[in-house]
Amino acid sequence: MPRTEGDTWDLASSVGSTATGVAASRALATKQPDPLINDPFADPLVKAVGLEHCNRLADGERHVEGHPMLDNQRACEQIAVRTRFFDDFFTEAGAAGIRQAVILASGLDTRAYRLEWPAGTVVFEVDQPRVIEFKTRTLAGLGASPAADLRTVGIDLRDDWPTALRAAGFDPSAPTAWIAEGLLIYLPPEAQDRLFDNIIALSAPGSRIATEHMDFGDSANAWLDRVSEWSKSSGSDVDLRDLFYTGERTPAGTYLAERGWDIAVRTTAQAYAANGFEYPEELATLAADSGYLTATLK
């Protein structure tokens, strides 16, 4: 179903179901004999949501030998590259003395529970109220405890989330580590700019941002069609083309650099190589120079 103004979702529908799919990939990677990543909460969270195609992915039943995304080994490598990038971002920020972190559109992200946070770190999770409530309740039922001072903020990012964040105890005078993982493509171009404007207004010097670097060149439509095709073939009844916002937008790196942030980009090919993986040729052709971005406010 196409997006509409003010639409909402849970973790079994619309945009929320994609968060469950990402968690299912983390669950699969965690289950391998020599795990590429370790997210012990991913599998029970996915199973609690109950989407059949996500359960099958988490259990390794979606395997298609040699497929660039549906081959289990390749699926595990892809999610390991992505997960490690954002994990390392928070680890490095903590080592630099940052004690405030914000996870935007947190979905089934469990970093507040599974990372080793420095003492005194406060982690804020921002997402739709139903998403926040489900994850918090399910993890509590598993006996899981946050590894940092976790503050959840149940609000739509299209609403006044900065006020809600401040009300939860966010300190705009302290350096902050922000992540927007798998978020930007689900925002209209003007909403992406507004998101960054809000982050900038809340960021003290020394703050950092990590997100995707989207640079598909002339292959953007082909990438969208292929990713949607792969999602459908895995059993999902959600057409990703209904969820993504296309059209011209200012790249995140350009937008932030113009506003005084220092930018560093790691292409997906570079991220694969850094982890010792071979980047599938078909993905390399579609993704062009896309990858991961970090920005720092001096």
The pTM of this model reads 0.92
pLDDT tens, per residue, the chain with 298 residues: 566 777 777 898 888 899 999 999 999 999 999 998 999 999 999 999 999 999 999 999 988 887 767 789 999 999 999 999 999 999 999 999 999 999 999 999 999 999 999 999 999 999 999 999 999 999 999 999 999 999 999 999 989 999 999 999 999 999 999 999 999 988 888 999 999 999 999 999 999 999 999 765 555 666 667 666 766 666 777 776 677 777 788 999 999 999 999 999 999 999 999 999 998 887 766 666 789 999 999 8
| 143 CB-near residues (< 8 Å, 6+ apart) | none
Indicate the burial class of 263 (C-beta count within 10 angstroms; 0-12, 13-18, 19 or more): middle
Indicate the burial class of 208 (C-beta count within 10 angstroms; 0-12, 13-18, 19 or more): buried
User: Would you list the domain boundaries of the chain?
Assistant: 84-297
Instruction: Compute the C-alpha angle 267/273/277, nearest 5°.
Output: 120
Contact 36, 51 (CB under 8 A): no
CA–CA distance from 96 to each of 74, 82, 92, 118 (Å)? Answer: 33, 22, 6, 10
Which CATH architecture is the domain 84-297 placed in? 3-Layer(aba) Sandwich (3.40)
User: Residue 59 and residue 44: Cα distance in Å, rounded?
Assistant: 11
Contact 62, 70 (CB under 8 A): yes
| 3-state SS class at 191 | helix
